[in-house]
Amino acid sequence: MSKPNDLVQGTLDLLLLKILALEPLHGWAISLRLKSISGDVLQVSEGSLYPALHKLEQEGWITAEWKQTENNRRAKFYSLTRLGKRQLESEAANWQRLSSAISQVIQLSET
Amino acid sequence: MRMEHWRFTARLRLRSILRGRRVEQELNEELQFHLEHKIEEGIANGLSTKEARYAAMRAMDGLEQRKQEMRDMRRIHWLTDFLDDARFAIRSLRRTSGLTAFVVITLALGIGMTSGTFSMVDALIFRPYPVPRPSGVVTLVSTTHDSSFDDFSYREYLDIRGKTKSYDGVIANAAMEAVGFSAEPAATPRIKGGMMVSGNYFHVLGVEPRLGRSFREDEDRVPGRNAVVVLGPDFWKHEFASDPGVIGKTIRLNGSDFTVIGVAPETFPGMLIFGHPDFYMPLSMARVFSTNRQKNFFEDRDDRELTVRARLQPGATLQQGQNELAVLAKTFEREYPKFNRGRSAAVHTQFEMRTRGDDGNWKFGVIFAILALAVLLVACTNVAGLLLSRARARRREIAVRLAIGAGRFRLIRLLLTESLILASLGGLAGIAIGYGVVLWFQSFQNVIFMTDLPFSIPFRMDTRVLLASLALSALSALLCGLAPALQSTRVDLVNGLKSADVDVPGRKRLWGRNVLVVAQVSASLMLLTASFLMVRGFQHDLREGTGFAKDHLLMVSFDPRLVQYSAAQTQQFYKLLAERVRVAPGVASESLTQNIPLGQDDFDGIAFVPENFQMPRDRENFNSTMDTVDEGYFETMGIPILRGRGFLASDTADAPRVAVVNEQFAKHYWPGAAAVGKHIRLESSAGTPVEIVGITETIKYQSGFERPMDFVYMPLAQHPIARMTLMLRSSGDPLQLVQPVKDVVRTLDPNLPMLHTMAYEDYYQNQAVNGPRIAMKLVGSMGVVGLLLAIAGLYGLVAYNVSRRTREIGIRIALGALSSDVLRLVMGKGLVLVGIGTVIGLAMGFGVEHLMNSMLFNAGGVDFVAYVIVVPSLFLVTLLAAYVPARRASRIAPTQALRYE
């Protein structure tokens, strides 16, 4: 699997879970949402998006459903499962711990 | 959490597997949806349609790679890869269908032979008792100087049962014996197989009756009290048409009434390998069934007729049981020195009992299995050689695959998948062949068991044998696939891509094939030697003859106990019978014998002390096999009397006791002295004296393969026996005497059944000749199959080696080598390999000969004739296999050879 080099490993999963926790979306909409909320800071290649989604689906964290979009085209909508919700919580907590630990290290004053 | 997770994902994996096409389609559609949006976006930003499409594709970073990544996410690629491999393998195997067919047939022969013989070994050695927790059931044996597997007497059994603590129950059974059965009191009895068992027999074994009840614990205690019988499942089905109303019914066994109390379940055909008792009676009814009139079953401690088994307590070890029994045996020896001096006891597992040294059947099974494995080995090396040649011919293909990034492991997997498919096909065909072998075995049912007792051939193609065959197939896939796979994926890429077929210089490259040639030659030589030796061994023993005349003999057995004769009535009957048939038309001579030679039943034993013989300190007496015969026996059977006389009418019950012994016996106890006129004392030095009045020639008594054994004859008048066989020598066809005998018996007692009425020669054929003949056929066909496979394989390997050197040979010829030089070059190599293989094979052949001699045949030493025939012929054959391709190579035109690739 090609790793999204520009992202800390594993954070793409967290982002995707979080986005889908808000509302069910299809792949295109997810890629737009990723771009809009993170701006240009978090570059996610569109190529990495779908394998990541598939992985989440195979893990049972998200589930997919074919539905009509607003302009009447069939698309695959992903939504969070119960398992996914639990996964999101634990990953978010992990991230919090990690990032606060790292920021503490960074804020150490150099003497 | 894990469980829940699994529940989700299993469904998804299953969907990926089963609905693969649908999933694939959805994947495409989803990506398409994304691309379309992306293109629209591009157009909206002012790009042309074409530019927008390019941009969209670029953003994906390689659409196909992404798709593959997504497929990998499904976590079933091990399966899809395997299916792809399998599909690819099948395609490439079909392209070379001739080779594939050859490989499959080769493997099928190897696996079929092995699974067929395994069904034999399984039935004879490994198949557990048909009871719950069979491994806990052990067998207790009494041991002496002469026998490591002696039985126990009833008294001894009761002591063991009462005084041991390591067991969850101790059971006993007598041998299965012929019992006269009639469902109605008036009907003429027919012979069936009945077995006396202890009251706790079924209970301790854990066998629940299918109908009614089994015996109660105390039903074996009071002699004559419990006339009850439990039917065997097959007997119930055939004799009573599975009628549940049989419980409570009265049947007649040996003339006494018995009440049917139960039916044993279908799952319990009995504890014997070959025999399946028709019914079971409690030990308390021994008087109705006991054959030995001289002893009292319930009282005599030396009337040893019982097989004793026990169930070890959970947690108790065999050693504990052994120790406890040894202590008890010591007590017996102290308390009853008369019966138990020098006697000890041992405990054996089922496996130990099945592989006991004094039984021959399992040894045949093991030797067959070894030979079948050798056939399989030859088959596998054959296939390995073929696959190796095939894989090398595919070097370029493999090099290309490696060059474009296939992992070596992945390629090995692909090649192994190929051999797995080959082995599966071969295994399936092999199981079919194995099934044929088993059916072939079973077709000898009537040829081998010429008896009224319920014996059957126990070889079956059951789950155990099937599983073993499948395991063998997988193993052979690995055996013949791994080496070629490893070697052919170790490719030097540069050379591999440059040319399809040039060997990398070095010694290592030929190593594999040379080993194959050597293995093949040596395995097939061993196989051939073994089968040749076996055939010659059998023939030798058959040719040696039996020592008596088998032709023009009619045999008819009688058991007057079936119609409740007393001992006196019985002897009166035999006296009258002999007198009257003697004068019947066509009868040249008549005689009576307790056992016929080379018959199904074992001879009785006799314990004695020879006169003027220094007994070893630790033993009370010696043992010998014996037979009870009347005065016409030696003449009728054509057994020569060497010294002294045979029995006479004057050797009556009141006359001094006499016996006739064989030469072996006389030489054994009075070497260099005249045995006639000497005495033996029965049982002990204080026993009844018996004078030896004659010496006969030593004949074959129990089997055609036995070593010369001691033998004693007793006259019927002085040693009365109930069950006797009438032997009549006829002047014409022995079967023409059947009617006259019937007429005589009718005048004596119309109710007395005539048993086993047949010509002795037919019986002898079935009993002593057919079995070995079948074995010879089996071994012979294994030898032939092995040799054919080896020839084919050898030819293939040498031919391949030569064809690979075609260019080299072309150059040599172009430089002026003569075709004889080329021939020498190519043959020389083959000869060295064949020579090495012959030496190894010879060593293995000697090993097998030693094994067979020690296990089966009485012949010692080395059978040089076998080697003189086998070795040169195999050498010639292999030489020919090397010569044909070598000759072809020497005739290649240099121009053609140099262009050859």
Question: pLDDT tens digits, residue range B240-270?
Answer: 999 999 999 999 998 889 999 999 999 999 9
B680 shares a domain with B625: yes
Note whether B660 and B561 are same-domain residues: yes
Q: Do B70 and A66 touch (CB under 8 A)?
A: no
Q: What is the mean pLDDT of residues A23-29?
A: 87
Specify the residue for token string 């040498």: B798
What residues of chain A lie within 8 A of the CB of B40, using their CB? none
Number of domains in chain A: 1
CA distance B228 to B288: 12
Tell me, yes or no, whether A3 lies in a domain: no
Q: What is the pLDDT of residue A111?
A: 60
pLDDT, residue A6, reads 47
User: What average pLDDT score do residues B855-859 get?
Assistant: 59
Q: Which of B67-76, B87-96, B377-386, B408-417 has the lowest average pLDDT?
A: B67-76
Look up the domain containing B48 and give its range: 2-75
Q: Do B5 and A60 touch (CB under 8 A)?
A: yes
Give pLDDT tens digits for B450-492. Answer: 667 788 888 888 888 888 888 888 888 777 777 777 777 776 6
Asked if residue A74 belongs to a domain, the reply is yes
Q: Can you read off the two tokens belonging to residue B111?
A: 């696996």
Confidence of residue B449 (pLDDT cuts 50, 70, 90): low
- Region of residue B502 (phi > 0: left; psi between -120 and 50: alpha; otherwise: beta): beta
In this structure, the answer to whether residues B749 and B792 fall within a common structural domain is: no
Name the minimum distance, in Å, from the CA of A108 to any CA of chain B.
40
Residue B205 has pLDDT above 90, yes or no: yes
Tokens of B781: 């066909």
Residue A2 domain flag: no
Nearest chain B residue to A28 by CA distance is B34
Task: Assess A46–B contact: CB distance below 8 Å, yes or no.
Answer: yes
| Eight-state DSSP code of residue B150 | B
Shortest distance between the Cα of B48 and any Cα of chain A, in A, equals 21
Give the sign of the dihedral formed by CA B93, CA B95, CA B97, CA B102: negative
Q: What angle do CA B18, B24, B26 make, to 5 degrees?
A: 110
Q: In sequence order, what are the residues at sequence separation of 6 or more whose Cβ sits closer than 8 angstroms to the Cβ of residue A19?
A: A25, A30, A33, A34, A37
For residues A2 and B455, the model is more confident at B455
Q: Give the burial class of B245: count Cβ atoms within 10 A of its Cβ; 0-12 exposed, 13-18 middle, 19 or more buried.
A: exposed
Question: Which residues on A lie below 8 Å from B22 (Cβ)?
Answer: none
Per-residue pLDDT, B250: 93
8 Å CB contact of A48 and B61: yes
The answer on B593 and B710 residing in a single domain is: yes
* Secondary structure E strands in B760-869: none
B390-394, B421-425, B525-529, B723-727: which has the highest mean pLDDT?
Answer: B723-727
pLDDT top residue among A37 and B603: B603
Q: What is the dihedral of CA B45, B49, B51, B52, to 10 degrees?
A: 50
Question: Which of A2, A55, A76 lies nearest to residue B61, judging by beta carbons?
Answer: A2
pLDDT given at position B859: 52
Across B542-556, average pLDDT: 86
pLDDT class for B199, splitting at 50, 70, 90?
very high
More confident residue, B553 or B751: B553
Q: How far apart are CA B262 and CA B229, in angstroms?
A: 7
Answer with the residue of higher pLDDT: B233 or B401: B233
What is the sign of the dihedral through the CA atoms of B830, B831, B833 and B838?
positive
Residues from chain B that touch A57, judged by Cβ atoms under 8 A, are 12, 73
B59/A45 touch (CB, cutoff 8 Å), yes or no:
yes
Give burial (CB, 10 Å; 0-12/13-18/19+) of B320. middle
More confident residue, B221 or B62: B221
Q: Is B811 exposed, middle or buried (0-12, 13-18, 19+ CB in 10 A)?
A: middle
User: Cα separation of B642 and B648, whole Å?
Assistant: 16
Please report the pLDDT score of residue A9 as a whole number.
58
A30 within a domain of the structure (yes/no): yes
Give the least confident one: B321-325, B501-505, B515-519, B882-886: B501-505
Q: What is the pLDDT of residue A42?
A: 67
Q: Which residues, other chains included, contact B339 with Cβ-Cβ below 8 Å and sequence gap of 6+? A: B153, B301, B302, B332
Cβ of A46 within 8 Å of Cβ of B38? The answer is: yes
Looking up residue A62, the CATH number of its domain turns out to be: 1.10.10.10
Higher pLDDT, B279 or B864: B279
Could you tell me which residues come within 8 angstroms of residue B30 by beta carbon, excluding any fewer than 6 positions away?
A: A27, A50, A75, A76
Strand order in the sheet with A62-68: A25-26, A74-80, A62-68
Give the separation between CA B618 and CA B356, rounded to whole angstroms. Answer: 25
pTM above 0.90, yes or no: no
B62 touches chain A (CB under 8 A): yes
Contacts for B710 with CB less than 8 Å, ≥ 6 apart: B624, B625, B661, B662, B664, B665, B668
A48 CB within 8 Å of a chain B CB: yes
State whether A46 and B37 contact (CB < 8 Å): no
> CB of A92 within 8 Å of any CB in chain B?
no
pLDDT of residue B822: 78
Mutation for testing the A interface, residue in B13, B70, B77 having most A CBs under 10 Å: B70
Query: Residue B75: its pLDDT value, please?
Result: 64
The residue with greater pLDDT, B295 or B327, is B327
Q: Does B348 map to a domain?
A: no
Residue at which a domain ends, from B448, B480, B505: B505
Q: Grade residue B858 by pLDDT with cuts at 50, 70 and 90.
A: low
For residues B665 and B795, membership in a common domain is answered with no
Nearest-Cα distance to chain A for B9, in Å, is 6
Q: Above 70 in pLDDT, residue B900? A: no
Q: What is the pLDDT of residues B668-726, one digit of tens each?
A: 998 888 889 999 998 888 889 999 999 999 998 987 777 789 999 999 999 988 889 99
Flag whether residue B33 sits within 8 Å of chain A, measured between CB atoms.
Answer: yes
From A2, A50, A83, residue closest to B31, measured CB to CB: A50
- The answer to whether residue A1 scores a pLDDT higher than 60 is no
Distance CA B785, CA B113 (A): 10
Q: Average pLDDT, whole number, for chain B?
A: 84
* Residue B325 sits in the same domain as residue B386: no
Side-chain half-sphere CA neighbours of B492 within 13 A: 11
Residue-wise pLDDT for B362-418, tens only, equals 888 888 888 888 888 888 888 888 877 777 677 777 788 888 877 778 788 888 888
Mean pLDDT calculated for residue range A35-58: 77
Please check whether residue B640 lies inside any domain of the structure.
Answer: yes
Q: Structural domain tally of chain B?
A: 5
Residues constituting chain B: 901
Has residue A5 been placed in a domain? no
Say if residues B179 and B288 touch (Cβ distance below 8 Å): no
Q: Which residues of B touch A28 (CB under 8 A)?
A: 33-34, 37-38
Q: Which single residue is written with the structure tokens 């039903």?
A: B219
Tell me what pLDDT residue B194 has.
93
Average pLDDT over residues B205-225: 90
* Distance between CA atoms of residues B239 and B467, nearest Å: 35
Is A13 at the interface with chain B, CB within 8 A? no
Whether A46 and A104 have beta carbons less than 8 Å apart is answered as no
Picking from B291, B308, B342, the residue at the C-terminal end of a domain is B342
pLDDT band at A36 (very low <50, low <70, confident <90, very high): confident
> For A58, which of B31, B59, B74 is closest by C-beta distance?
B74
B409 CB burial (10 A radius; 0-12, 13-18, 19+): exposed
Q: Which of B762, B778, B806 is the last residue of a domain?
A: B762
Q: By percentage, how much of chain B surpasses pLDDT 90?
A: 31
Pair B560, B703 in one domain: yes
Pair B842, B525: CB distance under 8 Å? yes
Statement to judge: residues B681 and B750 lie in one domain = yes
Provide the pLDDT for residue B128. 92
Return the pLDDT at B242. 92
Judge contact between B789 and B524, C-beta under 8 A.
yes
Range of the domain at A54: 11-107
Q: Is A54 on the interface with B (CB under 8 A)?
A: yes
User: How far is the C-alpha of B702 from the C-alpha of B900, rounded, in Å?
Assistant: 68
What would the two tokens of residue B590 be? 């008549």
* CB neighbourhood size of A42 (10 A): 16
Please state the rounded mean pLDDT for residues B618-644: 90
Residues B557 and B700 in one domain: yes
- Across the range B541-559, mean pLDDT stands at 86
CB B609, CB B687: distance < 8 Å? yes
Suggest the residue from A13, A46, A62, A79 to mutate for an interface test with chain B (most B CBs closer than 10 A): A46
**B177 has which bridge partners?**
B194
What does the pLDDT read at residue B639? 94
Q: Looking at the complex, does the CB of residue A73 fall below 8 Å from at least one CB of chain B? A: yes
Is the minimum CB–CB distance between B38 and chain A shorter than 8 Å? yes
Name the least confident of A26-40, B238-252, B666-680, B725-739: A26-40
